[in-house]
């Protein structure tokens, strides 16, 4: 992990020339990628099968889901809770990649999504990976489906852009106040030694999320940063000030 609290003024920028080249390459691949986005597709993340449906963000094509899944797979397991295995929450679970990899890591997982098609897709992937006893997928808005519950690990790949979603798939891309509501409610669901892993992109309002987390007195640190040419994705950890450093 990269150490050090992130100053709010930190900015991560993509070289404009690299971005132009990357976008040109993306245009060549676009017809092949669209088929995987607009039709049911069976993807694999490190040999783990993952079904994607048309109204659900494909975790491999759009890269964020697979980056989060691999980060979870390589992160230390939290200490067991008083009731058994440590608990994880995959907020905005989408196809369920984060939830499935957390369960494979040893967590008892709840996945939540506002998109009913994402809930259906994630439940199918739980069955596909024989994890029905370890993952519970729920439908609802942010933390409402887990009111009163606490978790050692919270995963969140938020909508990158501001605005009102125009359809089910767009729920994964746009939101009006999702970042602020998540940051405000996050401390109440974290165990004392718990942390959140939050994926942000240079293509979206990363600064808005970082500001919201700091405004709620959370300690934020970068965990991993990956350059994809047209964008840079960073996964940050967020924890309550009273907890030990991750």
Query: Per CATH, the architecture of 39-76+85-239 is what?
Result: 3-Layer(aba) Sandwich (3.40)
Using 50 as the pLDDT threshold, list the residues of the chain that sit under it: 1-10, 243-246
pLDDT, residue 87, reads 96
pLDDT, residue 9, reads 39
pLDDT, residue 245, reads 47
* DSSP-assigned beta bridge partners for residue 198: 156, 236
Closest CA to 49 of 57, 37, 62, 59: 59
Q: CA–CA separation, 37 vs 220, rounded Å?
A: 33
CA dihedral 238, 244, 245, 246 (to 10 degrees): -70
Q: CA–CA separation, 195 vs 153, rounded Å?
A: 5
Q: CA–CA separation, 137 vs 209, rounded Å?
A: 25
pLDDT, residue 3, reads 37
Separation of CA 70 from chain center: 11
Do residues 39 and 54 make contact, with C-beta atoms less than 8 angstroms apart?
yes
Do residues 98 and 113 make contact, with C-beta atoms less than 8 angstroms apart?
no
Q: State the residue for tokens 């892993």.
A: 197
- Residue 66, classed as helix, strand or coil, is helix
pLDDT, residue 217, reads 93
On whether the pTM is more than 0.95, the answer is: no
């Amino acid at each position: 992990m990269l150490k050090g609290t992130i100053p709010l003024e930190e900015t991560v920028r993509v070289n404009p020339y690299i971005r132009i080249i990357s976008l040109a390459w993306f245009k060549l691949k676009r017809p092949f990628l669209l088929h995987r986005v607009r039709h049911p597709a069976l993807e694999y993340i490190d040999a783990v099968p993952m079904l994607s449906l048309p109204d659900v963000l494909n975790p491999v094509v759009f890269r964020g889901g697979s980056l989060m899944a691999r980060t979870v797979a390589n992160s230390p397991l939290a200490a067991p809770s008083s009731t058994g295995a440590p608990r994880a929450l995959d907020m905005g679970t989408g196809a369920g990649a984060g939830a499935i990899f957390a369960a494979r890591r040893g967590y008892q997982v709840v996945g939540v999504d506002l998109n009913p098609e994402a809930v259906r897709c994630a439940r199918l992937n739980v069955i596909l990976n024989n994890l029905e006893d370890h993952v519970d997928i729920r439908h609802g808005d942010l933390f409402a489906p887990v009111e009163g519950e606490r978790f050692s690990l919270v995963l969140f790949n938020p909508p990158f852009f501001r605005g009102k979603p125009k359809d089910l798939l767009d729920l994964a891309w746009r939101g009006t106040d999702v970042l602020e509501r998540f940051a405000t409610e996050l401390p109440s669901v974290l165990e004392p030694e718990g942390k959140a892993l939050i994926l942000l992109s240079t293509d979206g309002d990363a600064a808005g999320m970082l500001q919201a987390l700091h405004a709620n007195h959370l300690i934020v640190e970068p965990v991993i940063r990956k350059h994809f040419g047209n964008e840079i994705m960073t996964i940050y950890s967020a924890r309550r000030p009273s907890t030990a450093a991750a």
